[in-house]
């Protein structure tokens, strides 16, 4: 499996893009503004989108993607998410007021897009690639994802705050090679991090103390303008895992 980081910022500006990862050539993990990095041909090859949650920075480009390439394809793009998240998309995005409902276009029998509900802990197998929804703790229904090639695996926390349920699962993954975890705010904004159910460096330290493995750890979702400060605060904690900042266009092969 090959994961390319299309976007990993908590905002936009300059060359910053919000969360989206391309798995191999045909799967997206979230679809924030990062997918604008792809060509029209690359976009047309996407068959599956796994959504962590309904916040705009993680779903912003789904409507435009489907609109741009739906006519180029012979089958619908499948959106995977929890039923709660799919309900939000139906009610507030694909509702004919914000955007057309592409699960009915050009016809309900042959739509450009289809919904597929998944449950926490459910494993979706696509050509031998195993994708599992993991617990997340956020202000809206949310999950993370475990991506497993068989030989090795990667965990993406999604947007989350303190989350014992995540670590109880992660600590049982024997072939875990990489972990991508969010830290959205600096320590001076700890109260805001707690209120919005994100992490700051001091909360990240508490979370990583629960991790018993030795996977590489990468930090995502840093707020623009605070990137250097957040990473400096993380470095000063002296973490045994030495977390690194996730970079746009970074490649993971596992």
The residue ranges of every structural domain in the chain are 2-253
| Per-chain mean pLDDT for the chain | 97
Q: What is the mean pLDDT of residues 133-153?
A: 98
pLDDT at 84: 98
Strand partners, 148: 130, 153
pLDDT at 107: 96
The pLDDT of residue 239 is above 90: no
Q: How would residue 45 be classed by pLDDT, with cut points 50, 70 and 90?
A: very high
Contact of 209 with 162, CB cutoff 8 Å: no
**177 or 238, higher pLDDT:** 177
Q: What is the mean pLDDT of residues 60-75?
A: 97
The pLDDT of residue 240 is above 90: no
Report the percent of the chain where pLDDT is more than 90. 98
pLDDT at 222: 98
Has this prediction a pTM greater than 0.95?
Answer: yes
DSSP 176: E
Domain 2-253, CATH: 3.60.15.10
Backbone angles phi, psi at 236, to 5 degrees: -70, -15
pLDDT at 162: 97
Q: What angle do CA 151, 157, 158 make, to 5 degrees?
A: 125
Structure tokens at 100: 């057309």
Q: How would residue 238 be classed by pLDDT, with cut points 50, 70 and 90?
A: confident
DSSP 18: B
């Amino acid at each position: 499996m090959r994961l390319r980081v299309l976007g990993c910022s908590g905002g936009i500006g300059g060359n910053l893009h919000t969360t989206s990862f391309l798995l191999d050539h045909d799967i997206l993990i979230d679809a924030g503004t990062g997918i604008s990095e792809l060509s029209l041909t690359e976009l047309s090859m996407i068959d599956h989108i796994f959504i962590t949650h309904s916040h705009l920075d993680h779903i912003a480009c789904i409507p435009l993607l489907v609109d741009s390439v739906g006519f180029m394809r012979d089958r619908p793009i499948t959106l995977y998410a929890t039923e709660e998240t799919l309900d939000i998309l139906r009610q507030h995005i694909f509702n004919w007021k914000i955007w057309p409902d592409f699960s009915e276009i050009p016809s309900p029998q042959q739509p450009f897009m289809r919904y597929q509900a998944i449950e926490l802990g459910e494993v979706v197998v696509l050509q031998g690639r195993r994708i599992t929804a993991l617990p997340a703790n956020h202000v809206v229904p949310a999950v993370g994802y475990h991506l497993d090639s068989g030989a090795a695996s990667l965990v993406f926390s999604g947007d989350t705050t303190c989350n014992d349920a995540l670590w109880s699962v992660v600590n049982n993954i024997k072939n875990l090679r990489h972990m991508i975890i969010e830290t959205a705010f600096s320590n001076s904004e700890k109260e805001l991090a707690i209120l919005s159910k994100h992490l700051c460096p001091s909360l990240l330290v508490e979370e990583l103390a629960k991790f018993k493995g030795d996977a590489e750890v990468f930090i995502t979702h840093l707020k623009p303008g605070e990137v250097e400060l957040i990473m400096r605060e993380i470095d000063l904690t002296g973490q045994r895992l030495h977390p690194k900042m996730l970079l746009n266009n970074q490649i993971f092969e596992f």
